[in-house]
Structures are given as C-alpha cells and as structure tokens.
Structure 1
Amino acid sequence: MAVNFDTSSEKETGLLRFLKSQLFFTPPPITREEVDLTGKTAIVTGANVGLGLECARQLLDLGCKVILAVRSQSRGETARRHLAQGRDAQWTDIEVWKLDLNSYDSIVGFAERTKTLTRLDIAVLNAGVYKVDESFNSTTGYEEDIQVNYLSNALLTLLLAPIMAEKKTGNSPGRIVLVSSGIANATKFNEKESNPILPAFKKKMEPKWLFKERYGTSKVLVQLFVAELAKRVPSSAVVVTVANPGFCHGSEIIRDGEGRFVGYLYKTMMATVGRPCSVGARIYVHAAVSPMLGETVHGQHVEDAMLRPMAPLIYKPEGKQAASKIWEEIMDEFMFVGVRQIIDGLSKSV
C-alpha cells in the first residue's frame, strides 16, 4: 500500500540522520496494556542471543507463546532457561526448534513442523550473518550473506505465509518481520546489471571482496523481496514487513571479526553509538504487533518504531527493474516447493 513519507529516501541515508536516530531517539516499549498477546504464538529465529533473544523476551512479556528457532539445540535450551527465569510462564510457553538457514532441507522441514501448531500469529526472521571473509554455501554455491540473509529468509517467508493465512483467527492476519540494516542505504548493488542476477552471487566479488557492500546488498535484496511480495499478496492474508533495529551492541552480528582489527573497530563503534539489543528489539516488536502501525506496515520498512523509506535504490527505475527481474529468478530458484502456486493461492485470499 502507498505511504506518503515526510522525508525523502535520500535524506535518510546521511550520517547525521544515523547519529540522530542512534543517540537521540529511543523507541518506546510496547506494554501489555497496549497489546495483549495471550493465546498467540510467535516464532523468532536466531533467538538464543542478542536481538533475537531480547525480541523473544518482549513477546513473552506481552503474553505470547514463543518458539525459539535456532541452529544449536543446546544453545537454544540455555536461552529457554534464561527467558523462563523470574516469570510465571510454563515451559510450554517457550519451545526450542532447530533451524539451519544454510540448508533448504532444514527450512522446509521447519515449515512443515509449523503446520502442527494450533495457530501461528507472528514470525520475526532475525537470524542472519555478516561475513568478514568471502565464503560460499557448500550446497547451493551462493555467497553466504546472500544465501542466509536473503534467499533462505525469503524461502522461509514464502513457506510460512500460507500456514499463517490458514491459521489466522478472525480478520486479524499474521505478521512476518524480516530484518534490514541502515547499511543498505549506501549499497551500490552492482550485480543488478547482471542478467540473470542470482548467478552473479556464485562468483567471487571483483575486483576484490568488500564485506560491507555484500552485506548491504543482501539487505537491499530483502527490501526488494518484501516490496515485490506485498504487490502480489494482500495484507488480509498475511502482513509482511521489514524492520531496521539500528546499530546494537551485543548483537554478535560481527562475530566473524572476533580477534581481528575489523572486530575491534565494530566493537568500538558499537560502544560509542550503539544502542542495547533490548532497545533495538523494540523495533521488531513494533513491526510485529503495533496497533498504531497496523496493516500499513505491509510491504513497508519500519525504523525508529515508525514507517520510514526503504533504501533509495528501491524507488529508482533501475531498482524497480532489478526487483521485477530477481523476483522471477527466486520463483525459479524455489520451484522445488511450488512457490508460484503458493503466491497464487495467497493472492486469492481474503
């Protein structure tokens, strides 16, 4: 749905805008008096640490049952015990399910398991990577940032959407929140000129590896995906949005840089201008349940607890052309699970 912003996308990309957001704005928490999620069920991926853990905690505080979707069962159980401390929640209010976003089989199996739930109201797809060194998925061949942050989360979204639509209660559609980053605003996404686009991410970056650019590209692709999906799937079936939690210390996003100069640099920046994960996670919760935003978040970008423009490229002709082209490519990429039929079914939902 169309949204009129009080600022241009280009004005959202500057350093002053970033610092103003990080240092002078604290997104407010949503209280149980505002939103009571009793009886509802949420999935949070990457929920054993950082932003995912804090998002799970806040959803539990609102009365929601939460499924911690994690790669390590043991770390998930540790997070489960940590979240259960000091609350009246039963163990059944917090479950740990295994999910490996490096594996399509794991994603499909996870989605199949969600069919056993009585209801599924919220999915916050927080899990992601920020690769300091260039590496490629051993099965698909795609660079890992593109694989995990974009392709795997897109596949999980497409598989969860019809399940949410089927299990919704009354006229209240479920919400899926994907994660963006402010780095997307300054990303060049040179691969948009390739034809086709996706195979370009199976090749080494030329003339050299730029980890910030590749991570930013993965987040631009997430924004393009959400915008295109919203054109084809009505908000009455399922609401899909993208959220930027900001620069958060304790998120472990730059864990690949541990013990290296880049890791030290990022930790210094986070200590200087970063917000706590408990504050950044509030953006996820606003995107997932805020009554103020409602279904207007469908196909939109949430930042600082409000709708803000996506990356400038999204609104430019070359961005729109790339979005249309790569949409068709991921439809082919995910043909093995019948995504075109899924989209067709959702488009007819009311």
Structure 2
Amino acid sequence: MSSFPAFLKSQLFYTPRDPLSTDPAFAAGKTIIVTGANTGLGLEATKCFVRGGAQTVIIACRNLSKGEAAKHSIEESENSKGVLQVWELDLSSYASVKAFAKRCETIPRLDSVVLNAGIATGRFQRVEGHEAHIAVNVISTFMLGLLLLPILRRSAATTGSRPFLTIVTSEMHFWTTLPQKKSPNIFAALDQEKGADMMDRYNVSKLLQILVVRHLTRVVIGDRFRYPVVVNCVTPGLCRSELVKDMGLTPVVFKKLLGRTVEMGGRALVNAAGGLVGKESAGEYIADDRISEPSPLVRSEEGAELAKRVWEELVPILERECPGIVAGIAV
C-alpha cells in the first residue's frame, strides 16, 4: 500500500478469495505447518487447509493446552479427525526453534510452511539478547525457515512437487524509514533501549523480513524461479486479530473500524502458501492475492544495499546458534 488511499481501497473493497472456490481439494494429501496456529489468522489458515483436504496440518504454538483446544475446536467444526497435530514452538527461545526443526526431520513430506507467528508490543523487551521484535519476528523466524529449507527441498525431490515457505509480513513496512540504517550495525542499533521508538519497531521488523526474503531469493539462491522451494512473503492486510492488543487503544480501535475478519486474513495466507497466487510468487511480496510492489525503499538501489547489509548481519547471528545453517540453502 504505497499510500493511505490505496490502503483504504484494499481494506474496504477487496476480499481475499476462498481457495476452495478455485480448487476444493487444493491441499489434498499435503503436510503443512502453520506457526501461531492456535489463534487468529493462523487458526483460520489451519481450518482452510483442513477443508482443502490436507493429510496433516501441524499447529505450531507456544502453549500446548491452547493448541490442543484449537485442534479440538477445528475437529468439531470441520468434522475432521486425524489430520491435526499440535507441536510446541516458542520463537522467543532459540532452543525451542531448533528442537522444533529437528522434530520436523521425521516428517515424510512437507509441502507448505506458513511462518505466521510474531509479536507486536509497545514495550522494549529483550529476548535471547536482542530486542524482542527483532529476535522473534526476524531472527527466530528466519532461523526456523532456513532450518526447514533442507526438509522442504528433500520433499520436493521425493514428491516431484514444489513446496512453499511463506513469511507473513505486513503492509506496515511501508511506514518506516528504518532510522537504524544510519548506524554501522543495524541489529546492534535495534538492541539499544535508549531512544528506541517502539511504535515503529513492528514496522521495522516487517521491513527487515522483506529485505531478507529479497536478498535470499535474488542473490543467495540465485535463480529463485528454478529453486525447488518457493520462498515468498504475504501481507494479510489489517485484520481484527489480537496482534496489537499490547500497543494501546489507537491501533485496537483502528483495527475494529477498518480491519478484515481473521477468516479473510487466513485466506490470504493460504493463497500465498500454495493456493491462488502460485509458483511465480517466488521471492515476491503478495498483497490482495497477487504479486505486489513492496515499499519504494525496498525496491530502490538503497534497498538492495540495505538487504545485503541486513543479510550479512543476520547470518553470523544464525550461524552462532546453528553452525552450517546457511549451507543448507544450497541445492
């Protein structure tokens, strides 16, 4: 959304398509992981995958009891048993991320991963030595994604299909200039509590996600259209989820007035992760069920240089926790 009028037009006049209307069995026989799937958009996306005939959908969430409650609710509403599994995943813990990825090595096939879990808060907090938005939304998200890439590649080789790794981002990335880009080290600057603009931090984390996806798919991978896994990112638009409940009254009221339903947002996630948009979305930013242009900053020469810097700062952080993680990207 390059402007507020464009944002309003999307919110008020576009409804994400139901993938079942295109293909009622779009997920038949597939194994899918949805993070943050016990509530909100993740829960709705999980329901949609179940309706589409998925063989296995893994609900990845921090709280197992809430995950089990979501599982039972979906089983009852969709009259579907034996499809859902609940696995523990806490993105605020690198150990949890690594344990989850290790467990995924036991999966016979993996067709789609929707990295939906994230945080938005107005408070400065540290997680694993980093500011929480950066640790959860960026570092842990890409740690998990890169650890799962070899598993997705293996599945592509054995099934002959092309799996999807989809990062759920936000149109809010348009609304930050990334002030920390002036610092010698962006991640170090973001870790400083003094002077931190926490109302901008969620926006920054979403911008960093898109920059990393673009550098990964355009430079590190090389030919993103031939790579055996489709890596993309999607904004579901502003939805009436609980994501901003800790950020004060204004964002909450804004969501109530303009937000899409969580069901609509869930559809957007599913469409990006293998439904409507398709394989040509590799390396792209998806909005309103189509490949869209990210912010002018992302598309600029400065954005390409920023993406390179962010990647080069992120890799040592990931390698310290998971030696050899980047090597797993190669075909």
Q: TM-score, normalised by structure 1?
A: 0.88
Indicate the residue corresponding to 1:284 in structure 2. 269
Cα deviation, residue 290, structure 1: 2.3
Rounded to whole Å, the distance in 2 between the matches of 1:77 and 1:134 is 31
Distance 1:310 1:134, change over 3 A: same
List structure 1 runs of 4+ shifted beyond 3 angstroms: none
Rounded to whole Å, the distance in 1 between the matches of 2:14 and 2:155 is 36
Secondary structure class of the residue paired with 1:256: coil
Please state if 1:157 is matched with 2:148: no
Rounded to whole Å, the distance in 1 between the matches of 2:77 and 2:290 is 31
Superposed CA deviations along residues 167-207 of structure 1, whole A, max 9, x for unmatched, are 2244321101111111110201011122222211221152x
Superposed CA deviations along residues 109-152 of structure 1, whole A, max 9, x for unmatched, are 10010010111111111100001111111xx3211111111111
Check the 8 A contact 1:13/1:186 in 2, yes or no.
Answer: no
Indicate the residue corresponding to 2:325 in structure 1. 339
Indicate the residue corresponding to 1:272 in structure 2. 257
Distance 1:342 1:142, change over 3 A: same
Cα deviation, residue 33, structure 1: 5.7
Secondary structure class of the residue paired with 1:247: coil
Secondary structure class of the residue paired with 1:81: helix
Check the 8 A contact 1:177/1:240 in 2, yes or no.
Answer: yes
Cα deviation, residue 287, structure 1: 0.4
Where in structure 1 are there 5+ consecutive unaligned residues? 1-11
2:170 maps to which of 167, 181, 197: 181
Check the 8 A contact 1:123/1:176 in 2, yes or no.
Answer: yes
Please state if 1:101 is matched with 2:101: no
Please state if 1:128 is matched with 2:118: yes
Query: Which amino acid in 2 is paired with 1:246?
Result: G
Distance 1:340 1:304, change over 3 A: same
Check the 8 A contact 1:32/1:62 in 2, yes or no.
Answer: no
Q: TM-score, normalised by structure 2?
A: 0.93
Please state if 1:143 is matched with 2:131: yes
Distance 1:83 1:115, change over 3 A: same
Query: Which amino acid in 2 is paired with 1:328?
Result: E
Query: Which amino acid in 2 is paired with 1:275?
Result: R
Check the 8 A contact 2:11/2:259 in 1, yes or no.
Answer: yes
**Cα RMSD (Å):** 1.5
How much identity, in percent, do the aligned residues show?
Answer: 34
Indicate the residue corresponding to 1:211 in structure 2. 198
Superposed CA deviations along residues 223-280 of structure 1, whole A, max 9, x for unmatched, are 011111112224432111110001111x1101324xxxx2x32222122111100001
Alignment of structure 1 residues 41-52 onto 2, 5 Å: 41-52=31-42
Rounded to whole Å, the distance in 2 between the matches of 1:195 and 1:210 is 18
More displaced 10-residue stretch of structure 1: 190-199 or 55-64: 190-199
Superposed CA deviations along residues 2-51 of structure 1, whole A, max 9, x for unmatched, are xxxxxxxxxx3211001100001111101176253221100000011110
Cα deviation, residue 156, structure 1: 0.7
Please state if 1:244 is matched with 2:235: yes
